[in-house]
Structure 1
Amino acid sequence: MAKNTAGLSLKWLLIVSFINNFGMGFVWPLTSVYLHSELHQSMVTIGWVLLANSAGQALGSAISGALFDKFKPINIIKFGVGMMILIQLGLFFYHGWPSYAIFLAFYGLMAGWMGGIINAYGTSVHHYDGRFVYNMLYFTANFGMVFATSLVGPIYSFGVQWLFVVALLMYTILFIIVYLNFDVPLERHVTEHSSSKMTLPRANAIMIGVVIVALIGIWIAYFQWNGSISVYMESVLKLPLWQYSMLWTINGGLVVIFQLIINALNLSTNTRAMWLELIIGMALFVGAFFSISFAKDFAGFVLAMVITTIAEVMVFPMLPALVNELTPAAVKGRYQGLVTAAPSMGRAIGPVVGGFMIDAHGYINMFRAMALLVAGVYVIFIGIALLVMRRTKRYV
Structure 2
Amino acid sequence: MTDTRALAAQALAEVALRGASQRDATERYAPRLADPRDRALFTALVSDGARWWLRFDAAMDRLLEKPLRQKEPAVHALLVLGLVQLEILQMPDYAAVAATVQAARALQRPRMAGLVNAILRRWQRERVELLAALDAKPQTRHAHPAWLAKAIARDWPEHADAVMAADNIEPPLMLRANRRRTTRDALLERLRAAGYTVDTHPWLDDGIVLPHSTDVTRMPGFAEGHFAVQDGAAQAAADLAEVRDGLRVLDACAAPGGKACHLLERAKVELIALESDAGRAKRITQNLDRLGLAAGLVIGDAGQPEAWWDGRRFDRILIDAPCSATGVLRRRPDVRLHRRDSDIATLAAQQRRILQALWPLLAPGGRLVYVTCSLLKAENEAVVGEFLASQPAARAAAFTLPSGQSAGLGWQILPGDGDLDGMYYAVLERP
TM over 0.5: no
Which of 1 and 2 has higher RCO (CA within 8 Å, sep 6+)? 1
- Return the structure number with greater helix share: 1
Give the TM-score normalised by structure 1: 0.30
- Return the structure number with greater strand share: 2
